[in-house]
């Protein structure tokens, strides 16, 4: 089914005064209260296009981040922050989806990528990087691995699709195809392992070799954790405690 524009833009009510809230209340509580008073339907979150998943006949795998179902998260969309809303991250096409828990829930809404600043889902924080100059496909969403003083690491979450012909149609299989992006001196570089890092930072080759030797088991069991710890170590934020 072709996508159609969901025109659900409504006039916002006058912004409520926040003076009635205690200063001890978190920002999320303030935004959630505002959304309840105004109604999420009226806030502009559902300004996007209808999304339909045409790859439902799978082997049990899925195209989304951490599960098939929607989960509660937060998103900064069109310069407005939304907390405790339903989100789902499509890794196949690099899109963020939402729906509501009311009569609008019949729609799966694909948010306009250019209007997304950042979002959080499953306690993971993602950001949209517009100018990496890496020529990557997708909409530029990256998980924040580590932001240091002189160096930053981002994790690019993606999935690839494989078709399996069956007698009565096609079955789809999805598998992870992740990689890392290292930012140094304002430049972005794709890295996949520790050796790639020392090619970018040759002056730190000794530290990287030492760290890799200490955390060899972690590099195999949890590559994400290993790479984050490595960059933290190179940034001086943590010590190599397994020397």
Residue 39: name the closest of 70, 8, 76 by CA: 8
Q: What is the pLDDT of residue 242?
A: 59
Average pLDDT (88-93) is 98
Q: What is the pLDDT of residue 166?
A: 92
Q: Is the pLDDT of residue 119 over 90?
A: yes
Please write the tens of the pLDDT for every residue from 151-205.
999 999 999 999 999 988 999 999 999 999 999 999 999 999 999 999 999 999 9
Q: What is the pLDDT of residue 17?
A: 37
CA angle 72, 80, 105 (to 5 degrees): 40
Cα–Cα distances in Å, from 201 out to 9, 59, 112, 206, 226? Answer: 49, 42, 36, 10, 17
Q: What is the pLDDT of residue 47?
A: 83
Please write the tens of the pLDDT for every residue from 55-87.
999 999 999 999 999 999 999 999 999 999 999
Q: What is the pLDDT of residue 105?
A: 56
Domain map of the chain by residue range? 5-191
Rounded CA-CA distance 29/131 in Å is 33
Rounded CA-CA distance 183/197 in Å is 11
Q: Is the pLDDT of residue 31 over 80?
A: no
Q: What is the pLDDT of residue 182?
A: 97
Residue 71 burial by Cβ neighbours in a 10 Å radius (0-12, 13-18, 19+): middle
Which helix (H) or strand (E) element contains residue 55? Answer: none
| Burial call 161-181: b when 16+ CB within 10 Å, e when fewer | eeeeeeeeeeebebeeeeebb
Cα-based torsion angle of the residue sequence 103, 4, 10, 31 in order, rounded to the nearest 10 degrees: 70
Q: Is the pLDDT of residue 15 over 60?
A: no
Rounded CA-CA distance 153/162 in Å is 29
Q: What is the pLDDT of residue 179?
A: 96
Residue 121: name the closest of 180, 175, 176, 67 by CA: 67
pLDDT band at 238 (very low <50, low <70, confident <90, very high): low
Provide the β-strand partners of residue 141. 128
């Amino acid at each position: 089914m072709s996508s159609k524009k969901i025109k659900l833009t409504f006039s916002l009510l006058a912004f409520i005064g926040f003076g009635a809230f205690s200063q001890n209340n978190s920002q999320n509580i303030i935004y959630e209260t505002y959304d309840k008073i105004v109604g999420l339907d009226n806030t502009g979150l559902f300004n996007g296009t209808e999304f339909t998943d045409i790859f439902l006949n799978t082997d049990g795998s899925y195209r989304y981040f951490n599960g098939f179902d929607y989960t509660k998260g937060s998103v900064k969309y069109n310069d407005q922050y939304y907390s405790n809303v339903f989100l789902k991250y499509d890794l196949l096409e690099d899109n963020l989806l939402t729906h509501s828990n009311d009569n609008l829930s019949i729609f799966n809404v694909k948010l306009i990528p250019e209007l997304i600043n950042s979002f959080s889902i499953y306690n993971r924080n993602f950001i949209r990087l517009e100018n990496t100059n890496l020529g990557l496909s997708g909409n530029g969403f990256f998980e924040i691995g580590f932001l240091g003083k002189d160096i930053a690491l981002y994790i690019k979450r993606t999935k690839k699709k494989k078709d399996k012909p069956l007698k009565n149609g096609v079955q789809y299989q999805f598998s992870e195809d992740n990689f890392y992006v290292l930012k140094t001196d304002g430049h972005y570089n794709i890295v996949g392992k520790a050796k790639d890092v020392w090619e970018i930072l040759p002056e730190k080759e000794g530290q990287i070799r030492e760290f890799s030797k200490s955390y060899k088991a972690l590099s195999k069991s949890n590559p994400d954790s290993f790479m984050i710890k490595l960059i933290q170590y190179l940034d001086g934020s943590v010590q190599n405690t397994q020397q």
